[in-house]
Structure 1
Amino acid sequence: MKKIKLILPVFLGLVLSFSSCSKDDDEIVDPGDDNSGEIPVEPNEPELLELRNYSSGQKVMMQTFYWDVEPRHEWWTTLSDKVEGWADAGIDRLWFPVATKGQSGGYSMGYDPSDYFDFGEYYQQQTTPTRFGTRTELEALIEKSHNLGLEVIADIVINHNSGGGKEYNPYRDKDTWTLFNEENGNASGWFNRNYENFYPNSTSPYDDGSLFYEETNLDHNQEYVQDWLWKKENSVAKYYMNEMGFDGWRFDYVAGFEPWVVKAWLDEVGGFSVAELWDGNASNLANYVEETGSGAFDFATFYKLDEAFDRHDDLTFLERDMLWKTHPDKAVTFTANHDTEKDDNEDNNISVENKMKAYAFILTHPGYPTIFYSDYENENFQAEIQQLIEIHNSLAVGDIEILHVDKDEYIMKRNGNNENPGLIIYISTGENTKRRNVQTNWKNVTLLDYSGNSTYIPTSDENGTASLEAPANGYAIWSVSK
């Protein structure tokens, strides 16, 4: 059994050794038949800790959009009505959609970038506002977010371009849509481009094999492209940060260009950064963050959650390699995003019935969790996600130990520290309530489920052993009471 363990100072009688004491793996306990260690409900019933008095030192990020958001042209104002509630819930960063004009104009989600400096102020691609609204509305949203203490993260697409004018391209010996100027998809007049700035060209006489828009795949080796993307004072990176007020970057499709590009960008302008390297191999993700200095979406965790809860229905997959295990400060964990939740995506998502268990996992484990807009705005999920965020922001502290794992049970402990008790999460995919004796860090104390999914009230003994519970096909998050 794999363990990640660090001996920490004593808190509430912290024990310095780990042992597992459990009932038979297959035993299902009827809560009414086992009163060992349980305190009858009395007038002086134990109370939950005031979580606002504790801090894990980290909050969570909100992805503020889904694919093909509606209503078109009103998204910035829609978000403006929500940011205060998100700040109150414990969010500290907002990942915005691609904010500039794409080839599809008012229908574009921004991943077909045309003009990097048109935030909804130039009439081109048959519209002035972007799908999300006008520049004025965006600037007001950024200002409001900053006033609430929220950072705003720009989605940046620098692999491919789309929506330019047609010109003869001698390197492909045919016409290509590679002319970007004031009359052709780049009304701002900044960062004009032609076939010389895309693969192949006179300085890079080869096709780099891009999967997207291969004829308009930017050549980042060119000084001109580097100047306009991140080096010049009015480059994309510096303009977004200094003029628009963005605080960081979500780099789209980084498999389409070399890692040194992201490193050079961050060396020049800094800011929070997360890369979309769609790769479920934890080692590949680790290599990328080491090479670039950027964070990365933890696709390894996403796929392990999918395999554990859906594909294989086997929680032992939660023991396997994930980016947060080696690079917790660089792993941006998630359970859903605009791509995984597309209507036509059946192979790369976590099912609705298992999604909250997946959120419980990422919001109790190391890494920087991301909440998906559509999940948070789902009235069936919102209160539960808010509670998980509060638990994450307060009690998700300390190194972890996996106390038990089998096909339908997973129990993990966060060890806490001198000032913070930490937590234990117990996930079950079984059809009945489960109980298991585990070694806690808490001696002779009453424990409560902070998720609200269990009303069971156990106590730990003088050695810190306690019988904890998980509801059928659900989870509980245990810590000490007042």
Structure 2
Amino acid sequence: MAARTLLQFFHWYYPEGGKLWAEVAQKAQGLAQMGVTDVWLPPAYKGASGGSSVGYDTYDLFDLGEFDQKGAVATKYGDRAGLEAATKALSGAGLRVIHDVVFNHKMGADEKERVAVHRVNPEDRTQIEEDAFEADAYTKFTFPGRAGQHSQFIWDVKCFAGVDCIENPDEQGVFRLVNEYGDGEWNEEVDDELGNFDYLMGADVEFRNKAVYEELKYWGRWLAEQLPVQGFRLDAAKHIPAWFFRDWVGHMRETVDSELFVVAEYWKPDMEALRQYLDLVDKQLMLFDVALLHHFHEASRAGADYDLRTIFDGTLVAEEPDHAVTVVGNHDTQPLQALEAPVESWFQPLAYALVLLRTGGVPCVFYPDLYGAQYSDAGGDGGEYQITIEPVPCLPKLIEARQRFAHGEQTDIFDEACSIAFIRHGTAEHPGCVVLLSNGDEAGKVVELGPDHAGAAFRDFLGHCEEEIHADEEGRVTLRVNGGSVSVWVRSDAL
């Protein structure tokens, strides 16, 4: 089985107009040939903003671009037929389909209800005012356009724990809905940011309601009957009780596929918090390596002042490699987004080499880094910005190199602050490689490969260094890397 390589096939500013599903279908075969094994699709169901929704303002999980709701039949990415064709093309190319799941909240309710609420201190969600009062809130979802097809479940105030907007009186803030669950407290087993991070936005789903819990399990089984499903990316995990995902993922593995790939968005660099979360979910899933992404961002800004020997310190892939999904960017960290932490273009090839060619972790490639992107939006300062993201020039070759050469045991040569290297020693069946990186000047390394490589010739698979270099009779070879660059040295006879 090929080493798992995940591609996030969208970004926040992907153009509207229903083009994405068609592009997925068109590119599926080429991605498989390149070395991608898994494709993470954006939320496929109807959002509150209809045909312009990126998908994280969940309205109707059962509307996959099939019903006239929120002003459109198709989603931003296309209609249900296009989605079916895209996932069929991925499966036909031997690629696994990973679905994005947004369970935390619902938005765009169809009706208001008269509810009772407590005001909450938004800076400390554990401070909930004792006295409740009545107000109108958008908490009823009847999905009139779908008219009961696929599911007849109606969401109402009993299905939610909180809202951020009420009417009569008109207020915005954080409000704890009065319901029969949790004795007026928020869910436990959520992140402790702001005291309790249960509430994020919209109508906050109440997972302690058994009917809600069963409906979300039903939806997972239903989705797998409609489309290929080999995995899930779980949105907003910091805000959802860990026990829910522990049970939900377990149920999906029992009923859908015991080998499901699951990665949760628990966006935090703190290893202690991540370890606690993994324990709470019985280590059934993977998490994004936020600390490593932050290191890439910092290294790309600091240039030769960054000590490359420390790049993996305190990272998930170093400490829990079986539970790490490594990223160089995603839809939340791209320029003009909330968690903006872009990796400068010169360092992107180094970062991708560090996630694609080493042992441990599952690397995730970001769509604009493979195909480029252009968009405009307002920045935090209110100014309008035009953004162009160029494709990372050697990224297809690095993805190919992962499948062809990233084999066998690993030896690190982290001996200099501005230049590091690592050896993948290969196996009896598959060749290895030697990867050199520099964030300063041109550098060289004397690499001891052993008598099996006596007299062997080596070339840089990326073509950044053009010469052929020969090992001596003891299998010792001096390899080099250009300044601010990466080279992947492989035996010439493996090419």
Task: Give the TM-score normalised by the residue count of structure 1.
Answer: 0.81
Counterpart of 2:229 in structure 1 is: 246
CA contact (8 A) 2:97 2:229 kept: yes
Aligned residue number for residue 45 of structure 1: none
Alignment partner of 1:398 is 2:405: no
2:261 to 262, 267, 272: 272
Cross-structure match for 1:296: 287
Q: Deviations over 1:267-287 (max 9, x none)?
A: 111221111111113443344
Matching residue's letter, 2:53: S
Cα deviation, residue 163, structure 1: 0.9
Distance across 2 between alignment mates of 1:118 and 1:64? 21
Instruction: Report the equivalent of 1:203.
Output: 181
Corresponding residue for residue 221 of structure 1:
208
Task: Identify if the C-alpha distance between structure 1 residues 422 and 321 changes in structure 2 by more than 3 Å, giving closer, same or farther.
Answer: farther
1:76 aligns with 2:87: no
Which amino acid in 2 is paired with 1:224?
A
User: Alpha-carbon deviation of 1:214?
Assistant: 4.7
C-alpha separation in 1, matches of 2:392 and 2:344: 17
Deviations 1:291-331 (A, max 9, x none): 42101122222122222232563313324132222433322
Equivalent residue number for residue 63 of structure 1: 8
Instruction: Select which of 115, 121, 132 maps to 1:169.
Output: 115
1:91 alignment partner, SS class: coil
Q: What's the secondary structure of 2:205's corresponding residue?
A: coil
Q: Which residue of 1 aligns with 2:63?
A: 118
Q: Comparing both chains, which one has the higher relative contact order based on Cα–Cα distances under 8 Å and sequence gaps of 6 or more?
A: 1
Give the secondary structure class of the aligned counterpart of 2:317.
helix
Q: 1:452 aligned to 2:435?
A: no
User: Which residue does 2:141 correspond to in 1?
Assistant: 180
Aligned partners of 1:329 and 1:385: how far apart in 2?
24
Instruction: Report if aligned partners of 1:180, 1:186 keep a CA contact under 8 Å in 2.
Output: no
1:200-248 residue CA offsets vs partner (Å, 9 max, x unmatched): 4212222454475556111212211110011xxxx11101112222221
The structural deviation recorded for 1:109 is 0.7
Q: Which amino acid aligns with 1:295?
A: M
**C-alpha displacement at 1:90, in angstroms?**
1.2
- Contact preservation (8 Å) 2:335, 2:342: no
In the alignment, what sits opposite 1:285? Answer: 274
Alignment of 1:94-113 (within 5 A): 94-113=39-58
Map 1:420-431 onto structure 2 (within 5 A). Answer: 420-430=430-440
Determine the C-alpha separation between the residues in 2 that align with 1:264 and 1:186.
Answer: 30
Determine if the alignment matches structure 1 residue 374 to structure 2 residue 335: no
The code of the aligned residue for 1:361 comes to L
Q: Is the 8 A contact 1:118 1:187 kept in 2?
A: no
**2:345 corresponds to which of 333, 341, 352:** 352
Judging by fraction of residues, say which structure has more strand. Answer: 2
Could you tell me which residue of structure 1 aligns to residue 155 of structure 2? 193
Identity of aligned residues (%): 26
More deviation, 472-481/336-345:
336-345
Confirm or deny that 1:387 pairs with 2:397: yes
Number of the residue aligned with 2:424: 414
**For residues 167 and 210 of structure 1, what CA distance do their matches in structure 2 show?**
25
- CA shift in 2, pair 1:365/1:283, >3 Å: farther
- Return the offset for 1:384: 1.5
1:327 aligns to 2:320 (yes or no): yes
The separation in 1 between residues aligned to 2:427 and 2:279, in whole angstroms, is 28
- Alpha-carbon separation, structure 2, partners of 1:287 and 1:85: 40
Cα distance change of structure 1 residues 369 and 286 upon mapping to structure 2, 3 Å threshold: same
Of 430, 437, 442, 1:433 maps to 442
Q: 1:344 to 1:382 in 2, by over 3 A?
A: closer
5+ residue gaps, structure 1, are 1-54
Aligned pair partner of 2:298 in 307, 312, 321: 307
Q: Does 2:76 match 1:131?
A: yes
Counterpart of 2:428 in 1: which secondary structure?
coil
- Is the deviation greater in 306-315 or in 167-176? 306-315
Query: 1:256 offset after TM fit, Å?
Result: 0.5
User: How many residue pairs were aligned?
Assistant: 422
Shift of 1:102: 0.8
Change (3 A) 1:309 1:403: same
TM-score when normalising by structure 2: 0.79
Cα distance change, pair 85–65 in 1 and its aligned pair in 2 (3 A): same
| Partner secondary structure for residue 99 of structure 2 | strand
Distance 1:443 1:328 in 2: 33
Query: Which whole-Å deviations, capped at 9, do the CAs of 1:11-41 have from their partners, x for residues lacking one?
Result: xxxxxxxxxxxxxxxxxxxxxxxxxxxxxxx
Report SS of the residue matched to 1:132. Answer: coil
Residues 240-259 of structure 1: per-residue CA shift (max 9 Å, x gap): 11222222100001001122
- RMSD of aligned residue pairs (Cα, Å): 2.4
- Which whole-Å CA distance do the structure 2 matches of 1:120 and 1:387 have between them? 35
Q: For 2:312 and 2:246, how far apart are their aligned partners in 1?
A: 31
Tell me what 2:386 maps to. Answer: none
Letter in 2 for 1:254: A
CA distance in 2, matches of 1:344, 1:228: 32
Deviation at 1:353, TM superposition (A): 2.3
Q: Distance in 2 between matches of 1:86 and 1:242?
A: 25
